Amino acid sequence: MVLTASCLESEDPYQAGFYFEKPSYVLSTFFANNHVDTISMFSYGKWYMTLDAGGDWFSVNTQSGKGETVYTFPVLFEENTTGKGRGAQISFYDTDHPDKAHSSLVYWQYATRGDGTMGSAPDVKAITGSDGSRFEFAYDAQHRPLQLRITKDDNLLQHLTLNYNDRDSVVTIQDRSKTLTSEYTNDYQPKRLIGDGDTISYSSQYYNYIAVSATQAFNLEHRTLLGNNSYYAFLLGGQSLTPDSLHCADSLSIARVTSAGTEIMKYKLKYSDYDNRYQSVDVNQLIFGTEQCDPYQLLSLFRYARQTSIVKAAYANGNEYNVEVKLNTNRSVNTLTVTRSEQQIVYTFEY
């Protein structure tokens, strides 16, 4: 908020300044697949706006107005496919007293989308596995997943459909007979998916009863009404989880609880030089087999669980998984080959 008042003898009394209801802060951050935001403002006097930076990808249709009036208007972003974050700045001036009353807003658009993929990453249409598996995907214009269907030998294993209510910022996921919902912000990521007795969410790890920072370690938990729960524990050891940052968990522990008991697998992970952000899906979810693939993580609905490099090898309980990758010219995955003992599965990607 910028307000100016003057009552000097040498000039007429005046009151000038701006009040911004939205955005709430001088600096606003957005993702590569964000297309629009809103400015809601009030000016005491006549005003005009200048675009100081970012004019090649950022635009505002309303650039001047009257005083004593509330204005609400959109700002538009082009999709960021440059591979780098970028900034824009706009400044507001009182028309009659530009040197006395002025204010600036800064916008920063990340190189990555809300799910952690690069802004230039193509959407995966399908993945075919040599084990008889088939993964089919659908996305909207903002690269948000709308559907995932997983089959093996024509048997349906997983079927998710997603609907985004942008007015209320609520995503609804139909997981066959289950319905889960969550609010989201401009990353379009679920905060906490909640259904009738089912939840999927991040949770903290604890040391001496004190929650440790997520940059050190965190969990992703699937809890069901029937008690068939899954827990994914990631050890990061102090890596940034901010958008556009690189992070690769040193180890991953997976605990699956069923009526037959609890199975725990602890994986030591090694990574290749290949970036995992150049296709819409998290290919690391394919390493442990089609049946064990977590569809929510495959769609990267919880981006902190998406490691930014493709795993080269995983070791657990005497088992070794080796991964070979072939890329397309745009750095997206063409084929992913997973070898465990004498078993080999080749996953072929379609875009």
Question: Mind listing the pLDDT tens digit for each residue in 217-226?
Answer: 999 999 998 8
Q: Are 230 and 258 in contact (CB under 8 A)?
A: no
Would 2-109 and 126-350 be classified into the same CATH topology? no
| Six-digit token string for 23 | 């955005």
Which is nearest to 11 in space by CA: 89, 99, 84?
99
At residue 4, does pLDDT exceed 70? no
Give tens-digit pLDDT for 97-122. Answer: 898 888 999 999 999 999 999 999 99
Q: What is the pLDDT of residue 11?
A: 57
At residue 84, does pLDDT exceed 90? yes
At residue 238, does pLDDT exceed 90? yes
Which band of pLDDT confidence, cut at 50, 70 and 90, is reported for residue 258? confident
Domain boundaries, the chain: 2-109, 126-350
Which is nearest to 278 in space by CA: 121, 170, 137?
121
At residue 5, does pLDDT exceed 70? no
d(CA 219, CA 208): 17
Share above pLDDT 70 across residues of the chain, in percent, rounded to a whole number: 96
Q: What letter represents residue 272's amino acid? A: S
- The CATH superfamily assigned to 2-109 is Immunoglobulins (2.60.40.10)
Mapped onto helix, strand or coil, the DSSP state of residue 342 is coil
Q: Are 249 and 267 in contact (CB under 8 A)?
A: no
- Any idea which architecture 126-350 has in CATH? Beta Barrel (2.40)
Give tens-digit pLDDT for 287-346. Answer: 989 999 999 999 999 999 999 999 999 998 888 999 999 999 999 999 999 999 889 999
Q: What is the pLDDT of residue 8?
A: 42
Give tens-digit pLDDT for 176-193. Answer: 999 999 999 999 999 999
Q: Are 219 and 231 in contact (CB under 8 A)?
A: yes
